[in-house]
Each structure stands twice: as structure tokens, then as C-alpha cells.
């Protein structure tokens, strides 16, 4: 790890505000997005993202820099998300409609409306994948983690992470096709 990185971690241990600000501004949004996708609930995503940071800072004494900070944070996030999912039967799904990124139905040309609907359908299908598959897809496509990093974060073999990814894409395709059937 570079010297600047070591200094930053030391500053984080003493909860230096600027160091914490850098941590949150770099990883807050990716974590919030990942956890919202995993939990299908923005409020839970925010709560758990906060818990990820708390656990990371509390455990910094044991962080030896073998994994990147990003992988370490997502490891904590993944474990917390699975614990949360297993301990609560969450059935409401606000995730798909929470953050529409396409134009509204009233606005824009027809193909843009279709693109927005397609994106929403895809997010809905993603939210219904099994947690492990959902996690791999989000980490791969939204967080741009390598399969090696994903495997590390999820405690899997790299080949298993790749297999989850393949079956997740296949599942998504099937769900999208099923959604288009009359």
C-alpha cells in the first residue's frame, strides 16, 4: 500500500474528519446503491451503508491492506446484506421504481419511453434474482469489480463467482422474455 494510503488509514483510525469525508465521498454512494439493490429498500440501504462504515472503522486495527479498501468495504456490505435478508422477510419492493433513470411516460419520444421501461423491467428482474446472483451482477456491472474482487468480497472461488454471473444473466434474459409475453 502506498504511503499516502497508509497515512489516510492512520487518519481514519483517529476518525479525522477529512479522512472520513474522503472515505464517505468515495464509497458512500456505491455502497448505498449496492445495498439498496440487495435489500430492495433505500432506507435499509442507507442504514446498512452506515453500519458498513462503522464496522470498517472499528476494525481498522485488523486491516492489513491485503485487500483493497473497496473490496473490504464490499465484503462487509455483502455479509451484512445477507444477514439482513436472512433475518427479515422483506416483501415490499420499492427498488425498481425508486430511481427511475429514464424519461417519464409523458415526456420524450417513444423509443426513449421504451428504453426507460426496459431499464425498469431489467431492474425489477434483477431485484428478483437470488441474493448471490444479484450481488455478483451488481458488483460486476454497477461497481465494476473484477471477478477476483467479487470472489474475495463474497467469500467464493473465482470460478463460482463467474458461474453465478452467467446464471444470473441467463435468469435475467428469461425473466425479461417472460415479461414480454402476453
Q: Residue 24, interface with another protein (CB under 8 A)?
A: yes
User: How many Cα atoms are found within 13 Å in the side-chain-facing hemisphere of 90?
Assistant: 25
Query: Which residue is listed with cell 423491467?
Result: 121
Which of the stretches 1-9, 47-55, 105-113, 128-136 binds another protein when contact is defined by CB under 8 A?
47-55
In the list 2, 3, 66, 101, the residue contacting another protein (rule: CB under 8 A) is: 101
Tell me the three cell numbers of residue 6. Answer: 497508509
Which contacts (CB < 8 Å, 24+ apart) does range 79-84 have?
A: 80/35, 80/48, 80/51, 80/52, 80/55, 81/34, 81/35, 81/38, 81/39, 81/48, 81/131, 81/135, 82/131, 84/39, 84/44, 84/48
Residue 55 neighbours by CB under 8 Å, 6+ apart: 76, 80
Q: Residue 70, interface with another protein (CB under 8 A)?
A: no
Q: Residue 32, interface with another protein (CB under 8 A)?
A: yes
Q: Residue 46, interface with another protein (CB under 8 A)?
A: yes
Site for another protein in 81-100 (CB under 8 A): 83, 98-99
Binding stretches for another protein (CB under 8 A): 15-17, 20-21, 23-25, 28-29, 32-33, 36-37, 46, 49-50, 53-55, 57-59, 62, 76, 79, 83, 98-99, 101, 118-119, 122-123, 126, 137, 141-142, 146-147, 162-163, 165-166, 169-170, 172-173, 176
Amino acid at each position: 500500500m502506498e504511503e499516502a494510503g497508509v497515512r489516510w488509514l492512520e487518519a481514519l483510525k483517529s476518525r479525522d474528519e477529512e479522512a472520513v469525508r474522503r472515505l464517505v465521498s468515495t464509497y458512500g454512494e456505491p455502497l448505498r446503491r449496492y445495498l439498496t439493490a440487495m435489500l430492495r429498500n433505500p432506507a435499509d440501504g442507507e442504514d446498512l451503508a452506515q453500519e458498513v462504515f462503522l464496522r470498517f472503522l472499528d476494525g481498522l486495527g485488523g486491516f492489513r491492506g491485503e485487500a483493497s479498501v473497496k473490496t473490504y468495504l464490499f465484503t462487509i456490505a455483502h455479509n451484512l446484506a445477507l444477514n439482513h435478508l436472512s433475518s427479515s422477510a422483506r416483501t415490499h419492493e420499492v427498488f425498481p421504481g425508486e430511481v427511475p433513470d429514464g424519461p417519464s411516460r409523458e415526456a420524450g419520444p417513444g423509443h426513449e419511453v421504451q428504453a426507460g421501461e426496459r431499464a425498469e423491467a431489467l431492474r425489477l428482474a434483477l431485484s428478483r434474482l437470488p441474493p448471490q446472483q444479484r450481488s455478483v451482477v451488481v458488483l460486476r456491472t454497477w461497481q465494476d469489480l473484477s471477478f477476483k474482487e467479487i470472489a474475495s468480497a463474497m467469500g467464493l472461488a473465482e470460478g463460482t463467482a463467474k458461474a453465478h454471473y452467467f446464471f444470473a444473466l441467463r435468469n435475467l434474459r428469461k425473466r425479461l422474455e417472460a415479461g414480454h409475453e402476453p
